[in-house]
Structure 1
Amino acid sequence: MGQFKPLTSLRFFLALWVLCLHWFHVYPDGRYFDIGITSTFFDHGYLGVDGFFILSGFILAYNYDPAPGERLDWKKFIIARIARIYPAYVASLLVFSAAVIGRDLILHSAMVGSTNYTLPDFLLGLSLLSAWRYAGPTGWNDVGWSVSAEWFAYVWFPLFLLAAPRLGKIRIALMAILALAVVGVVEATSPTHLSMSGGVARLIPEFMLGVLLCRLREAMPSYQGFIWGSLLSLLVCAIGVKVGIDTVFVAGAAGLVFSLSYGIDALTGVLSSPSLVFLGEISYCLYIVQRIPQYLFSFARSQRPELAALPATVQALLLLALTIGAAVLLHFGIERPMRSWINRRFGASRRSPKSIAGATNNERDHRGWYIQRKR
Structure 2
Amino acid sequence: MNHHRHAAAPPWEGRYVTLDGMRGIAALAVALFHYNISQAPHGYVAVDFFFALSGFVLCRTYLPRWQAGMTAGAFMKQRLIRLYPLFLVGIVVTTLSAISNHFTGQGNLYGYGMMARALPFNVLMLPSPVTNTLFPLNVPAWSLFFELVANLGLVLVLFRLPRIGLLAVVLAAALWFVPVVLENDGGNLGAVWHQVGTSMVRTTMSFTAGVLLARLPAAVARPAGWLGAACLAAIAAMLMLDPVSIPDAWYDLACSIVVSPLLVWLGARCEPPRFLAPLAWFLGEVSYAVYAVHWALMEPLRYFKDDLGYDPVLMGAIYLACCVLLGWAAVRWVDLPMRTRINAVLRARAAIPQPMKERVLPN
TM-score when normalising by structure 1: 0.72
1:184 corresponding residue in structure 2: 178
Give the letter aligned to residue 76 of structure 1. A
Question: 1:172: Cα distance to partner?
Answer: 5.7
Q: 2:282, 2:240 → 1: CA distance?
A: 29
- Structure 1 residue corresponding to 2:62, chosen from 61, 64, 71: 64
1:86 corresponding residue in structure 2: 84
Question: 1:67: Cα distance to partner?
Answer: 6.5
Q: 1:159, 1:248 → 2: CA distance?
A: 29
Question: 1:299: Cα distance to partner?
Answer: 4.3
Question: 1:89: Cα distance to partner?
Answer: 1.1
Alignment root-mean-square deviation, CA: 3.8
Deviations 1:242-281 (A, max 9, x none): 3231221121110110111113xxx633795102211111
Question: 1:222: Cα distance to partner?
Answer: 7.4
Question: 1:320: Cα distance to partner?
Answer: 1.9
Q: 1:106, 1:231 → 2: CA distance?
A: 43
Distance 1:84 1:347, change over 3 A: farther
Question: 1:155: Cα distance to partner?
Answer: 2.6
Deviations 1:201-255 (A, max 9, x none): 311211111111111235xx77989x96995994995899632312211211101
Q: Does 1:291 align with 2:295?
A: yes
Distance 1:176 1:92, change over 3 A: closer
Q: Which has the higher contact order (CA 8 A, sep 6+)?
A: 2
Give the letter aligned to residue 62 of structure 2. Y
SS in structure 2 at match of 1:322 = helix
Q: 1:257, 1:285 → 2: CA distance?
A: 21
CA contact (8 A) 1:285 1:331 kept: yes
What percent identity do the matched residue pairs reach? 22
TM-score when normalising by structure 2: 0.74
CA contact (8 A) 1:138 1:197 kept: no
1:159 corresponding residue in structure 2: 156
Question: 1:54: Cα distance to partner?
Answer: 0.7
1:204 corresponding residue in structure 2: 204
> Tell me, which stretches of 5 or more residues in structure 1 are unaligned?
26-37, 350-375
Question: 1:103: Cα distance to partner?
Answer: 3.4
Question: 1:157: Cα distance to partner?
Answer: 2.3
Give the letter aligned to residue 107 of structure 2. S
Aligned residues: 319
CA contact (8 A) 2:43 2:239 kept: no
SS in structure 2 at match of 1:155 = helix
> Tell me, which stretches of 5 or more residues in structure 2 are unaligned?
1-12, 350-363
2:5 corresponding residue in structure 1: none
After TM superposition, the structure 1 = structure 2 runs for residues 1-375 of structure 1, keeping only pairs within 5 Å, are 2-25=14-37, 38-39=38-39, 42-66=40-64, 70-104=68-102, 109-111=107-109, 117-130=114-127, 137-162=134-159, 164-166=161-163, 176-188=170-182, 190-198=183-191, 199=196, 200-201=199-200, 202-217=202-217, 234=234, 242=243, 243=246, 244=248, 245=250, 246-250=252-256, 251-263=258-270, 268-269=272-273, 273-299=277-303, 308-346=308-346
Q: 2:107, 2:32 → 1: CA distance?
A: 25
Distance 1:229 1:13, change over 3 A: closer
Question: 1:76: Cα distance to partner?
Answer: 2.3
Deviations 1:10-49 (A, max 9, x none): 1111111111211112xxxxxxxxxxxx35xx12111011
Q: 1:116, 1:287 → 2: CA distance?
A: 26
Q: Which has the higher helix share?
A: 2
